[in-house]
Amino acid sequence: MADQEEGLALHISEVIEEFSTFGVTLSDEAANQCLALCKQYGVDGEQLAVLWLTFASTHGYDSVTLEALEHLDRVEQNSSRKKAAAEAASASTVNRLNASLDNGCLSRPEDDDDEDILEAYGGSGSGIKAPKQTLTPKNEKPNGKVRSISAQFRSATLSPTVASPSLKYSSRTNSGTVVVQYGAPDNTTWTANPDFHPEVKLVGCFDEPPLTKAYNFMYERPGTIGEVLSDMTLSLAEEMQDIMLKKGKKGEEEEEEYSSVNTMTSEAISTVGRVCCDCSSHLNAASVLVEGCMEDNKSSVVQLDLSQVKGFSLFPGQIMGIRGSNPTGNKLLAQELVDGKLPPEPTSPITISTSTGPIQLVVASGPFTTSSNLLYEPLTDFLTAVRNNPPHVLVLLGPFLDAGHPLVVGNDLGETHDAVFNRCLHIISTTLESTPTQVILVPSSRDVCSPMVYPTPPYDVAGNFTCVSDPALVNIEGVVVALTATDVLFHLGKEEISSASQDRLVRLTRHILKQRSLYPLYPPHESMCVVMEQLENYVHLPYKPHLLVIPSDLHYFAKEVEGCVVVNPEHLAKGLIGGTYARIELHPPSSDKRMVNSINVNVLKV
């Protein structure tokens, strides 16, 4: 009985920990109810936490209560019943089709099938009997009056469903509240010098220029992917030589060299390989494999024994330095793990001066509208705040029109995707045209108006915008800022295993810096379409950024990680409610020339 209670407590603590990663606090009653739901639906704490976030965003819940969990249970049960009914209907249709084939002909089972086809293509679903209806009503003539920002989002082509305001969003009471602070609050102005126009430049990786246009994809061969992975492993292995290999003294032993992962020896060796999993499910301590570099067009893979390692944090695709032995040639007995190496400091001089004042930077990440409509109410309020206190640089990270938005998925728009996207850009441009603010647009592979590949090429739009790729490195008066619209923290968190007891968000961010990659996970998340040939050129971190902006569904934060200020502003809209954005102030570097001490961050509610 005691063992059962201990196992139950451990399970509850795991559920509580997974919810806390997303900034959600559970009461004892809610934790027990979550545990019951995990058992009922056969999911773990992380899966239930993700399910809760989706449910809460859609239904507007701010906290986990017993009533909310009961509502979640009812919705899931109803969804299961509908799915079962759909499967039964599908099976019935197949049976009728098979019966028609058995009779020697393929008859039309029901006239309703024709109506379904018409509805799929935007028709009325009632054949020729339905009267014609215009899909796009005529635009109203302008009356010459200046329209407010919110009025400009109310296109005449939007249906009432798309254009119905969100009551949950409009009833919020915490607008403008600062939820996270970083830096020295007594050394902030949050006001931009209008006479100072900081220089913004794109930065490439090593000798490669930055990604500035679309590229061909879906032309990769499996051999090419293997070569790219091997090259990335060799590159980081070379950087880790001073940590991994023993240097020989003059006149004595020679310098140590890397061994292959499958070298059969009972003596200690140093090797480098890529972590992978030996099963189709999630990585665990017993399923860790290490893949070495390619030799003669093939690579060696051995099992990694972690029993002698005190602490570890691993994920698929991670490039690891390993010290240990391999007596059988099939299992590497690890004694020490080296999880990469930090990139060097930027070499560009920082030209911010006290005479010009600090650089003001505002960052917001999409989605920019609530899940119930396309009125872009959060973006409207955000632009109003930016216009009232304009920064030097405004960074907007996609998606602008999320492919997962319920109205996009349901094909309930009365206009094209490009029309919605272009209207957003036009309103952003006209709202800020009288300000000195430079606008940087970062695309997202989740955006219906972007190629759904990663790295994602810049938006091809007109106007006074600086369009960069995802990810991108930007130099602002010598301050290097890394930007990405991809939720790499969440992707890593789903796949990582760790025995270390430390801040999980810091640990996940440290992986990015030490792997010198803004997307080190391989295989990538199921929602990602990664082009490996471009990954090597445009995702690598040639040096450590001063500022890393990395929006995520995980809880917002602003922290120093290995001498880099990392900011997760979350998203401007979260389901039916408003989200958060970040204001960042860049001061001249302090006397110790550490830029990390000269950056102030506020994360605010929209």
| Residue 509 contacts residue 566 (beta carbons within 8 Å) | yes
Please tell me the predicted confidence (pLDDT) of residue 103.
54
Give the separation between CA 358 and CA 191, rounded to whole angstroms: 9
Closest C-alpha to 45, from 57, 33, 56: 33
Rounding to the nearest 10 degrees, give the CA dihedral for residues 121, 123, 124, 127. Answer: -100
Read off the amino acid at residue 158.
L
Q: How far apart are the first and last CA of the chain?
A: 50
> What are the distances in angstroms from CA 358 to CA 395, 476, 515, 598?
17, 12, 31, 9
What number of CA atoms fall less than 13 Å from residue 448's CA on the CB side? 19
Query: Which pTM was predicted?
Result: 0.80
Cis bond before residue 588 (omega within 30° of 0): no
Burial 161-184 (b: 16+ CB within 10 A, else e): ebbeebebbeebeeeeeeebebbe
Cα 204 from Cα 185, distance rounded (Å): 34
Instruction: Write down the pLDDT at residue 1.
Output: 42
Q: How far apart are CA 424 and CA 293, in angstroms?
A: 47
Residue 323 burial class via C-beta count within 10 angstroms: exposed 0-12, middle 13-18, buried 19 and up: middle
- CATH says 1-126 is which class? mainly alpha
Nearest to 453 by CA among 236, 221, 233, 220: 220
| 163, 172, 392, 423 from 370: Cα distances, Å | 11, 13, 27, 17
Contact 310, 515 (CB under 8 A): no
Class of domain 258-338: mainly beta
Backbone angles phi, psi at 442, to 5 degrees: -115, 125
Q: How many helices (H) and strands (E) does the chain have?
A: 15, 22
Q: Which pLDDT belongs to residue 159? A: 57
* Candidates 3.40.640.10, 3.40.47.40, 3.40.250.10, 3.60.21.60; CATH matching 178-217+345-605: 3.60.21.60
302-325 residue pLDDT tens: 999 999 998 899 999 999 999 999
The helix/strand/coil state of 79 is: helix
Q: Do 556 and 580 meet the contact criterion of CB atoms below 8 Å apart?
A: yes
Domain boundaries, given as residue ranges, for the chain: 1-126, 178-217+345-605, 258-338
- Give pLDDT < 50 ranges for the chain: 1-10, 101, 104-122, 124-146, 250-251
Residues 503 and 467: their CA atoms lie apart, in Å, by: 34
pLDDT single digits (tens) 182-221? 998 888 999 999 999 999 999 988 778 999 999 998 888 8
Long-range contacts of 31-40 (CB under 8 A, 24+ apart): 33/66, 33/69, 34/64, 34/69, 35/8, 35/11, 37/69, 37/72, 37/73, 38/11, 40/73
C-alpha torsion angle, residues 192, 194, 196, 201 (rounded to 10) = 70
Task: Note the pLDDT of residue 400.
Answer: 96
**pLDDT (tens digit per residue) in 75-120:** 888 888 877 777 777 666 656 655 554 554 444 444 444 444 444 4
For residue 534, give the nearest of 276, 297, 216 by alpha carbon: 216
Task: Give residue 118's pLDDT.
Answer: 45
Q: CA of 129: how far to CAs of 120, 123, 125, in Å?
A: 17, 12, 10
The count of other CB atoms within 10 Å of the CB of residue 224 is: 12
What is the pLDDT, as a whole number, of residue 153?
62
Please tell me the predicted confidence (pLDDT) of residue 499. 87
Produce one character per residue of 465-499: b if its CB has 16 or more CB atoms within 10 Å, e if not.
bbbbbbbbbbbbbbbbbbbbbbbbbbbbbebbbee
**Would you state the pLDDT for residue 240?**
94
